[in-house]
Amino acid sequence: MDIEEETLLLALLVDEDEELQRIWVHSINLDRENKGEFHSIFQELREDKDRFFVYFRMTVECFDEILDIIISDIKKKFTHYRRPIQAAERLAVTLSE
């Protein structure tokens, strides 16, 4: 394979990579940090211990303890394609109704 062919293949791969990047995160999820339930009410729930308990059926302290135990198992790495869902949000989604 000569340099011209290698350059062409590399250009195709870069183009495909850009295409993957465009569809990697669905448009619904692009704004979840501003409009998502976790990001809009989780901190307020943490400040109101009674509502937190109604929502998650556990205390804030219990939630934090569970998160501390499992965080290394549910934490995802950041990539240049997308920002991962943070561990606390993963746990909250799993526990909520």
Tokens of 88: 């606390």
User: pLDDT at position 36, please?
Assistant: 77
72 and 91 Cβ atoms separated by less than 8 Å: no
If you search the block for the tokens 């549910």, which residue do you land on?
74
What angle, 0 to 180 degrees and rounded to 10, lies between the N-to-C axes of helices 49-56 and 60-74?
50
User: pLDDT at position 3, please?
Assistant: 75
User: pLDDT at position 50, please?
Assistant: 96
3 state DSSP class of 85 = coil
Kindly report the number of other CB atoms within 10 A of residue 63's CB atom: 19
What is the rounded distance in angstroms from the CA atom of residue 95 to the CA atom of residue 92?
5
User: pLDDT at position 24, please?
Assistant: 63
User: pLDDT at position 56, please?
Assistant: 94
One-letter amino acid at 20 equals L
52 and 46 Cβ atoms separated by less than 8 Å: yes
Per-residue pLDDT of the chain (97 residues), as tens digits, is: 677 777 766 665 655 545 545 556 677 777 777 777 888 899 999 999 999 999 999 999 999 999 999 999 989 887 777 778 899 999 999 998 6
